[in-house]
Amino acid sequence: MKDETIICRCEDVTWGEIRQALEKGYTTLDEIKRVTRAGMGRCQGTTCRRIILREIAKFCHKSIEEVTIPTFRPPTKPVKLGTLAGDDDD
């Protein structure tokens, strides 16, 4: 994979940035998210999470199942604040 390849399309994070984070010792998805913003954009990692998990596994010589998955944070899809504000049932 080339350094210029975009891994997180929402936040414009390249493979080069993720590779550098891995090499610095940030080897969990949560850390990579916090260092690079990968997975923090509009799609919340739906696109890039699997690629990053695979690369962490490769880098750490682990299987994908052994890599810790970050906390799922609601909502599943973006919701307009106006829609949220108008919702009055508990």
Partner 1 sequence: MTMIKRASVVIIGGGIIGCSIAYNLAKMGCKNIILLEKNSLASGATGRCGAGIRQQFGTEMNCILARESIKIFENLSQELDYDIELNQGGYLMLAYTEKEVNQFKKNVALEQSLGIDVRYITVKKAKEIVPPLNTEGVLAATFCPTDGHANPFNTNFAYAEAAQRLGVKIYNFTEVREIKTENNRIVSVSTDKGEVLTPIVINAAGGYSGEIGKMAGVEIPVYSQRHQILITEPVDPLFKPMLMSFSRNFYCQQTPHGSIIMGFGDPDEPKGHDIGTSWQFARDMAQKMTAVVPLLKEVSMVRQWSGLYNMSPDSQPIVGEHPQVNGFYMAVGFSGHGFMLAPVASRLMAELILKGKTSIPIDRLDIGRFERGELIIEPSVV
Interface positions with partner 1 (CB under 8 A): 24, 26, 28, 30-31, 34-35, 37, 40-42, 44, 71, 73-75, 78-82, 84-85, 87, 90
> From residue 67, how far is each of 50, 54, 85 by CA, in Å?
11, 9, 37
Residue 43 or 51: which CB sits closer to partner 1?
43
Cβ 84 to partner 1 shortest distance, Å: 4
Amino acid in the structure at residue 12 = D
R_g of the chain computed on alpha carbons: 15
Least distance to partner 1, CB of residue 49, Å: 14
Q: How far is the CB of 83 from partner 1 (least distance, A)?
A: 8
Q: Which helix (H) or strand (E) covers residue 13, if one does?
A: strand 13-14
| Cβ distance to partner 1 smaller for residue 2 or 76 | 76
Distance, in Å, from the CA atom of 77 to the CA atom of 6, rounded to the nearest integer, reads 22
